Structure 1
Amino acid sequence: MKRLFLLLIIAVPALEIFTLIQVGHIIGGWLTFFLVIGMSGLGVYLLTVQGRYIMQQIRREMQMGQLPGDSLLNGACLLVGGTLLLIPGLLSDLIGMLLLLPGVRELPKSLIKLYLMKMMQKGNYVFYRRF
């Protein structure tokens, strides 16, 4: 796990820089700069709109006495997508934007559900309950 984390720390910024340089050669440096800024601005807008909707949905489900499992996974995807938008770079912005779009979010949610189910079957989870 440590090796994978170390590889990601080295590979992701290098890939981001390479992508920025290649896109800068194709469309120009200033357009690349404004593309990154524009994608981040659009992402912040989508994050606020989707975040408000998810929070309303969670409140509704809790008032009805239901556990907001799917809504919480949507919120987790929004959190990760918003964090990726804060990282300068085109690839992280693209992945972050995809996590903010409601229809595209289903694949990561299903992967998270599978991971959580495997953890629960193995007994590798912690359940916190507030009294």
Structure 2
Amino acid sequence: MTTGVPTSTAPRRRSPARTFVPLAVVAWFILEIWLLGRLAALGGGFAVTVVLAVGLVLGVVVIKRAGRRAFKNLAQTFQQAQTGQRPTPQQPGSGNGLVMLGGLLLIVPGLLSDLAGLFLLLPPVRAWLARRVTGSLERKMAAAPAGSFGDAFQQARIHQPDGMVVRGEVIREDAAPRHGSGPDTGYRPPLAP
């Protein structure tokens, strides 16, 4: 049964990310092993064990502090919302997601991941990366085709500080409905019974 929609028989083009990301992960893994081997040759197995243990402990401490800070910020936001105050907006890069990512990279065994985790703990690096990621995501969501997940997410977002308008319909229960239908009466039945 055909629906009348033309279908293409040409193979779909593979995304460059699907090609290069697995290769980059494998190259990162091989480089981490090689660097740990070089460290073992220079300082012995004890040096490798100490470096990995310090990275693990530091990563756990960083994630624990970031989690506590996130929970404190969440409780403060709820408390402000209950008292009717507007929650204070966060500065770019002050969130806990990148700090937790830095802690996770410290926990992952390896020298390059530890170095990347330490860089993510620096506030200027976090702010720069947060601006880049936010800008990239906003551009991709703005260019999302209608009906896609990105479009649905864009439609669902509400920014209170910039006054974005959310499309909808207000149905007032207190006003008596007009009996009659048509464009001149202005009455529309409710969306749900």
Pairing partner for 1:120 from 133, 141, 153: 141
1:52 has 2:68 as partner: yes
Which residues of structure 1 form unaligned runs of 5+? none
Aligned residues: 129
Pairing partner for 2:59 from 36, 39, 43: 43
Q: Which runs of 4+ in 1 moved over 4 A?
A: 67-73
Paired position in structure 2 for 1:81: 102
Larger RCO: 1 or 2 (CA < 8 Å, sep 6+)? 1
Identity %: 29
> TM-score normalized by structure 1?
0.76
Q: What one-letter code is carried by the residue in structure 2 that aligns with 1:90? A: L
- Counterparts in 2 of 1:98 and 1:92: CA distance versus 1, 3 Å: same
Paired position in structure 1 for 2:47: 31
> TM-score normalized by structure 2?
0.55
Larger radius of gyration: 2
Within-5 A mapping of 1:86-101: 86-101=107-122
Paired position in structure 2 for 1:108: 129
Q: What one-letter code is carried by the residue in structure 2 that aligns with 1:114? A: G
Distance 1:101 1:42 in 2: 14
- Counterparts in 2 of 1:97 and 1:38: CA distance versus 1, 3 Å: same
Which residues of structure 2 form unaligned runs of 5+? 1-16, 81-85, 158-193
CA RMSD of superposed structures (Å): 2.8
Q: Which has the higher helix share?
A: 1
